[in-house]
Homo-oligomer: A and B are copies of this chain.
């Protein structure tokens, strides 16, 4: 008999989310190493020990804060629902939209930052990409589809890095639509299998 309802209610709703929000902001802005538990706790207006009470360790906090907010299965389905043509543009648009969303910006930035500096985070992202992302799109393509899908993905990751982390000009300030119009055909080339030129 688990009298789970005894005592004070667990999982206070507000503070836990406040900690996660502060963690996403800190990890996204400073990366895993430079973000400190003390700073995150201060932003969330709680004691540092409370952070570890909830998440066990700094790694645990990171994993909880950086859990991917999207379902790749669904993501891929939406991109490819209307057929293979135009998929490049739709993919570029949908991917960049993730980074433009203020609520998600810190999260995705933190994931990328951590994947670069932290081996366990890299392993996690690697497994996610190999198992979920590439698998979701491989069914729609042919022979060397997995390689092609990863090449398209690598372009998107590099694009996000240059625009949102490095902030190199003129890429960082270019309007979204202009980028989508240029990147879309390049991605389409990987899907269609044909060498692709610029926009006609």
Chain A positions near chain B (C-beta within 8 angstroms): 31, 33-34, 112-113, 115-117, 122, 125-126, 129-130, 144, 146-148, 150-151, 153-159, 161-163, 165-171, 174, 178-179, 182-183, 185-186, 188-190, 192-199
Contacts and interface: CB of A to CB of B under 8 A. Distances in A.
Given A125-B166, A196-B189, A161 B154 contact: yes
Nearest to A117: B31
Question: Within the oligomer, what is the number of copies of this chain?
Answer: 2
A50 to B, nearest CB: 25
A194 B198 CA distance: 7
Nearest to A173: B147
Contacts of A151: 159, 171, 179, 182-183, 186
B163 A154 contact: yes
A154 B187 CA distance: 13
Nearest to A182: B151
Contact of A155 (B148, B155, B179): B155
The listed residue with most B CB atoms (<10 A of its CB), out of A144, A153, A171, is A171
B188 A199 contact: no
**Chain A interface main SS type:** helix
A70 B186 CA distance: 27
Contacts of A150: 162, 168, 170-171
Contacts of A182: 147-148, 151, 190, 193
26 contacts: A31-B33, A34-B117, A116-B117, A117-B117, A125-B166, A126-B166, A126-B168, A129-B168, A150-B162, A151-B179, A153-B158, A154-B159, A154-B162, A154-B163, A154-B171, A155-B155, A155-B159, A185-B195, A185-B196, A188-B195, A189-B189, A189-B195, A189-B198, A192-B197, A193-B198, A193-B199
Given A144-B178, A147-B182, 17 more contacts: A33-B34, A115-B165, A130-B168, A146-B170, A151-B159, A151-B179, A154-B158, A154-B163, A155-B186, A156-B158, A157-B162, A185-B195, A185-B196, A188-B195, A188-B197, A189-B195, A193-B197
